[in-house]
């Protein structure tokens, strides 16, 4: 049986910090450094959550679906998951999350951060849908 607690926790933390990030404009008490720190925290939580997503998905493909020889790399895993109708979003969307993850892990420059942050609402929605598919639980 697959334990989804780490995935659930990482998704919840990303969801909460992204909501905090979305309220930055209304928070006049924050310095530019504080705003930057919140944005960086969202990206770090995205990296953690993304890694949890593809690793749990790999385990699901192996343990729940019994697929042999599942690769140890996110992009092929998302393609296999799409073939098995586990993803609600198109495969290309998941591959864009993979690209954002790769980019943010190497460099936090402003442009790459903006790209990752622009994907965040969709990633959270897609990761939540996948969590529900894998676990059979409703996200609350």
Q: Does the pLDDT at position 106 exceed 70?
A: no
pTM across the whole model? 0.93
Instruction: Report if residue 114 sits inside a domain.
Output: yes
Residues in the chain: 140
Q: Does residue 10 sit within a domain?
A: yes
Q: Is the pLDDT of residue 8 over 60?
A: yes
Domain contains 104: yes
Tell me how many domains the chain contains. Answer: 1
Arithmetic mean of pLDDT, 55-63: 97
Domain residues for 18? 5-135
C-alpha span between 70 and 108 (Å, rounded) = 31
Q: Residue 110's pLDDT is what?
A: 75
Residue 140 domain-assigned?
no
DSSP line for the chain: ----HHHHHHHHHHHHHHHHHHTGGG-TT--HHHHHHHHHHHHHHHHHHHHHHHHHHHHIIIIIT--SS--SSHHHHHHHHHHTT--SS-HHHHHHHHHHHHHHHH---HHHHHHHHHHHHHHHHHHHHHHHHHH-PPP-
Give a yes or no: residue 76 inside a domain.
yes
What's the average model confidence in pLDDT over 27-45? Answer: 92
CATH code at 35?
Answer: 1.20.120.330
- pLDDT bin (cut points 50, 70, 90) of residue 140 is confident
Q: Which residue has the higher pLDDT, 32 or 124?
A: 124
Sign of the alpha-carbon torsion through 111, 114, 118, 119:
positive
For residue 126, being part of any structural domain is answered with: yes
């Amino acid at each position: 049986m697959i334990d989804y607690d780490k995935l659930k926790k990482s998704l919840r933390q990303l969801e909460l910090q992204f909501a905090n990030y979305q309220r930055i404009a209304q928070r006049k008490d924050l310095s530019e450094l504080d705003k930057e720190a919140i944005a960086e925290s969202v990206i770090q939580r995205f990296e953690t959550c993304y890694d949890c997503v593809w690793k749990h998905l790999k385990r699901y493909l192996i343990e729940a679906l019994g697929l042999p020889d599942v690769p140890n790399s996110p992009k092929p895993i998302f393609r296999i998951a799409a073939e098995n109708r586990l993803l609600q979003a198109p495969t290309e969307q998941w591959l864009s999350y993979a690209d954002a993850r790769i980019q943010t892990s190497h460099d936090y420059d402003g442009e790459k951060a903006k790209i990752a942050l622009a994907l965040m609402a969709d990633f959270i929605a897609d990761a939540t849908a996948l969590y529900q598919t894998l676990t059979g639980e409703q996200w609350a």
